[in-house]
Amino acid sequence: MFKREQLTLKYAKDAELRYVWKYLNKLCLVDTVFCSDDLKTYEDFNEILLDSLIFTARYFGKIAGIIWLNTFENKTARIHFFVLPPARRILITGGREVIGRLLDWNDMKAFYGFVPEWNKSAIKYYRKLGFKDFGIIPDLAYDQKKQTRGNMSCSYINEEIFNG
């Protein structure tokens, strides 16, 4: 059973980001999460996040994932998630809690996200969180393993959808 009071959301620290970077590499997920073949080092990872506001989600004190927001405009931002495998048991309930807290933070109105069409589990996750599909961007995603481009699924959530 999910324990809301055990979920904390705070600005990410360098040590936490380094931990997540190592985890992404260990699981060979860098290209899946970032759809880029340019991320080779922690410094590359850190540079790609420079214009982002990064949060660490902890559950019972352990890192459950990171959430980063960027492309801020009119109380709207692009949202990105990476949930560590051990925390996936609280994926939906915890994710909904994070979305609610982030909508409350700075009086945000909406978030949108892009997910490669080949990442079916991430698309399913966004939908279970309540995100609604609004389109496809052709050839925006890059699959490093296959050395091919693919379509990007676009979805959004706003206060009305979240509270509805």
Residue 69 belongs to domain with CATH number: 3.40.630.30
Question: For the stretch 82-105, what's the b/e string if a residue is b when 16 or more beta carbons lie within 10 angstroms of its beta carbon?
Answer: bbbeebeebbeebbbbbbebbbee
Full residue range of the structural domain in which residue 110 is found = 4-163
At residue 2 the predicted structure's pLDDT band, cuts being 50, 70 and 90, is confident
Task: Work out the average pLDDT over 113-135.
Answer: 93
Map residue 77 onto helix, strand or coil: strand
Q: Order of strands, edge to edge, in the sheet holding 132-143?
A: 7-11, 53-59, 62-73, 76-83, 110-116, 148-158, 132-143
pLDDT of residue 55: 95
Map residue 37 onto helix, strand or coil: coil
Q: Can you give the pTM of this predicted structure?
A: 0.87
Structural domain count, the chain: 1
85 pLDDT more than 90: no
